[in-house]
Homo-oligomer: A and B are copies of this chain.
């Protein structure tokens, strides 16, 4: 599980059947990613061989480093993660993760059923030593770039020791993805003062305050998130999921709000079109496609989860991002951070 040497290409298994527009869009995404990698990336498309081959044929993939790994079963976007885990051992998700576990690929990426990918990743790759629960990070756009929120949906019922590990793993992910050596870490709360929040959050605050190598700066309120109050914000998966989706909806409500206002103020055509072009630029900041996908933190490998609605461009970005995570040794760094005494919360 050591970072791969730059000498050989990084091999990423991509769930060809994952996402609303699979396998056409996933095949196209694989082609884009490999083309743009200049030989540093190989993609293994995992799915129903005939369908995947068919999807590739129309997207001149000849000569590209793209292989197909057959997986006869497909897990639908709406299927129960636990049921699919037991009932479909030959799904593209299981086969792809199995290939990663067996060392045949360096990572697995999927825009499929998030719950199923999380469950199968934890089951097949296992948890890194000391990790209590894997956590899913999310990107939030901010006035000065973006910040990372952990957890955004993997764990809705949490304890303080889980939130402390989310902070530790989120910091490592931020060091890599935000390219900051010492990212700031804050706890999402209802007030800035210590002593605020639920019993679990209060206990978490106490524990994070005692960790001197975390970069913990205290509590952060909802109003501070988009103002980049911190590089990493920590919360349970319920709060994180609600915040993430509220933020994503920004790009879809702005056109409504601006349309109404443009009518109300009766702008000239050219001003109105200027407003709309500005609006597109701003809305793009809140578009999940900018980020491609996020790794499930804490599992024994690199499993990246993308948005179900991903376009070919988003799929390509997810695959490229996955290779970057492997090259950066993020999984190894998470393992080291959790193993460090200050981050050891298992005993707690």
Interface residues of A (CB under 8 A from B): 143, 153, 156-157, 188, 190, 197-199, 201, 221-227, 235, 237-239, 241-250, 252-254, 256-258, 261-262, 264-265, 267-268, 270-272, 274-275, 277-278, 281-282, 285
A106 to B270, alpha carbons, bound, how many Å?
53
A227 / chain B contacts, CB cutoff of 8 Å: 249, 252-253
- Taking a contact as CB atoms under 8 Å apart, the answer to whether B278 and A253 are in contact is no
- Taking a contact as CB atoms under 8 Å apart, the answer to whether A143 and B253 are in contact is yes
A238 / chain B contacts, CB cutoff of 8 Å: 190, 197-198, 201, 239
Q: How far is the CB of A117 from chain B (nearest CB, A)?
A: 15
Q: Nearest 8 A-B pairs (CB), nearest first?
A: A222-B245, A271-B274, A222-B246, A223-B245, A222-B242, A223-B249, A261-B281, A143-B256
Q: How far is the CB of A246 from chain B (nearest CB, A)?
A: 4
Q: Which of B190, B239, B241 contacts A153 (CB 8 A)?
A: B190
A55 to B75, alpha carbons, bound, how many Å?
69
A156 / chain B contacts, CB cutoff of 8 Å: 190, 197-198, 201
Q: How far is the CB of A309 from chain B (nearest CB, A)?
A: 12
- Taking a contact as CB atoms under 8 Å apart, the answer to whether A257 and B243 are in contact is no
Give this chain's copy count. Answer: 2
- Taking a contact as CB atoms under 8 Å apart, the answer to whether B222 and A244 are in contact is yes
A145 to B285, alpha carbons, bound, how many Å?
25
- Taking a contact as CB atoms under 8 Å apart, the answer to whether A198 and B157 are in contact is yes
- Taking a contact as CB atoms under 8 Å apart, the answer to whether A258 and B278 are in contact is yes
Q: How far is the CB of A62 from chain B (nearest CB, A)?
A: 39
A254 / chain B contacts, CB cutoff of 8 Å: 282
A53 to B249, alpha carbons, bound, how many Å?
48
Q: Which of B153, B190, B252, B257 contacts A237 (CB 8 A)?
A: B190
Q: Which of B153, B246, B258, B264 contacts A226 (CB 8 A)?
A: B246
A183 to B180, alpha carbons, bound, how many Å?
47
Sample (22) of A-B pairs whose CB atoms are under 8 Å apart: A143-B256, A156-B190, A157-B198, A188-B242, A197-B238, A221-B242, A222-B242, A222-B245, A223-B246, A224-B249, A225-B249, A238-B239, A242-B242, A243-B243, A243-B246, A250-B250, A254-B282, A257-B282, A257-B285, A261-B281, A267-B278, A271-B271
A235 / chain B contacts, CB cutoff of 8 Å: 242
A242 / chain B contacts, CB cutoff of 8 Å: 188, 190, 221-222, 235, 239, 242-243
Q: How far is the CB of A258 from chain B (nearest CB, A)?
A: 6
